[in-house]
Structures are given as structure tokens and as C-alpha cells.
Amino acid sequence: MVTIGDVASTARVSRSTASYALSGKRSVSTEVRSRVEAAVRELGYTPNAGARALATSQTHVIGLLAQFLADEFAPAMLQYMLGVSNTARELGYDILLATEEDGRNALRRMTDSRMVDGIVLLNVAEHDDRLPILRSAAQPGALVGLPADCSGVDVFDLDFEEAGRLMVEHLRTLGHRELILVSQPEHVVDRGGAYVWRLQNAAIAAARRSGVHLHAAFAPSRQPEVGRDLNALLDAHPGATGLLINNEAAAAALPSVLHERSVSAPADLSVIGRYSDEFARTFSLPYSSIESAPDRLGRMAVRELVRRIEGEVGHDDSHVVRFVTPELVDRGSTASPPEV
């Protein structure tokens, strides 16, 4: 088996210099790094994770707890997972993924056995029962999603309140006075999905302040139910000239719904969604949207977590709560309302 000593000998550097060149823990010259990387390729060297863990008390593994819940749109969740895993790989960490229903048990198993150096939580509920376990663990934790209590963990999320206000204000400025907001299923809120009501409540308040009539509704997260609900909402509110979508399944179903109704955006109906640019490309969505930034949130969470793992931020240093400012991506689906 090729060792780091073999790499060092081939590269004509010390063992510690070869290790620093590969780990990035200390600065080495570009010329030395190139020699070490060439030796790695020549010898086919792969770090021994077990030996490294014994030597450093680190596994270079990050635990990722996520679930594909039946009441949420799986492709949207996958984007958050990819943001975490891709960034971890760039920083030299592997991912240990747990998707089991009992997140508390999975988290306790990961942390008690020291299988991971840190934890990232997705599907964060307002009162998440995994958080007491994570706060008491030796390993640091980072969340993508805002709980009611952010103490003891680093938290990253989209500013959903500002997203709701931005959606309403954009259409109000164009002259719209009656809008429909379609959110995720109501039991997502019942389960603790605070991001749903954070956007919805802010949109309702913004509409009330500006004299806009907003019809707020929940919709399923799968076809054909979501398509039927979209049709029912448009039938129930024929005077609405704008549609706000905070439900990825509804956004994916909307092109076929509007086609069947011979409705076009923005000539007949202005549309703004809340999803990522990658999601829009995947489902060929032509609608303007608030960028949900799953990749960016994943990067932010992992980078801060690695800073704590590697001692750049002390264990007792203050934790951060950071929001991504929503940005409206204009795809030409909004305009002034049609004249009656």
C-alpha cells in the first residue's frame, strides 16, 4: 500500500510537507505542491481514512441528516443535499448521509460513535427534536433552515419574510391589485415547516399595507392533485391577475395547467415562483422567481462547519445566524395587468 512517506520520497520533500500540501493546513509553495500532486498521481496514493482518524482524532466525514418527506417535493430537497455534499468534497470531507425517519436516533448514533467530525441538518422544523441532541454532542453542527431557538448551532436560511414582501411589492408596483399565493401543503406547517408561514405571513402583511387583495392557499406536493388544486384556485378567483408560487410541485405543474386553460404569462396572468435557477432549468420553467439558493446555503453551512471542525472558530465562540437576501430572477413572466 502506498503511504504518505512514499509520496514524500517521490516528491523529494519531508513527510510533513507532503501532508500539508495535500491537506492545505499550512501554506506551501506552488512548486512544492505541484511535485506532491504529481507524486500522488504517479503512485496512485489514496489517504488511509482509518490511519488519519487515529492520528488526528478526525474522520474527515460530515454527517448529513435529511429526509425525503412525502409532503415535500423531492427534487427540491435533492438540491440542498448536493450543495452540502459538493462543498464538503471541495474541502476534503466525505459525507455520511442519514435519511431514516428517526432523525434523533441517527444523530445520536453518528455523534456518540464519533463517526463524523460535524453535522449538517436539513428539513429543520421550528421546534426540531434533533436539536437538543446536537447541542449536547461533542461535534459542531450547522443548520440549513431556521428553528425557533438558534442557540448552540450555526444557522443559514433564505430570508423568507423578505421573499414574500418582494413578491407582492413587485406585482403591486406593476399595478396588480388581486393576487393568489400558493404555498406548500398545510401539514408541512403543522409539522413545523416555519418557512411556509414566514413567507405567507409576510406576503399577507405586505398586501394588506398596500391595498392588494391576496388569496392565500395551500396546495399538494404531487401530481395530479396539485394540478387540480391550481385549476380550482384559478376558477375560484377569476379576477386575480397575479400568481405567487411557494410550492415547487405547483411550479413544475403550472406550465401544463396554463396551457390547458389557454392562459399565457404575462399577457393573461403574471407569475412569480420561489425556487432555484437550476430547478427552473430542470423543469423548463419560464417564470420569474425568487432564487431559493440551495447551493449557496449548503456552501455557507459546510464552510462554517469546517471552520469550527478545524479550529478556525473556537468551540465556545458565538454562533452565527445568516440569511440569504432574496433576489428576483426576471424571466419575463410579469407585466402590468391586462386591461378589463
pLDDT, residue 51, reads 54
Distance CA 191, CA 128 (A): 10
* pLDDT above 70: percentage of residues in the chain: 95
Residue 327's identity, in one-letter code, is: E
- Tens digits of residue pLDDT in 260-285: 999 999 999 999 999 999 999 999 99
Q: What is the pTM of this model?
A: 0.82
Distance CA 57, CA 50 (A): 10
The contacts of residue 259 (CB under 8 Å, 6+ apart) are none
- Tens digits of residue pLDDT in 227-237: 999 999 999 99
Please state the rounded mean pLDDT for residues 191-197.
93
Give the residue, 24 or 136, on which the prediction is more confident: 136
| Beta-bridge partner residues of 273 | 245, 289
Is 142 a residue whose pLDDT tops 60? yes
Identify the band that residue 225 occupies on the pLDDT scale cut at 50, 70 and 90.
Answer: very high
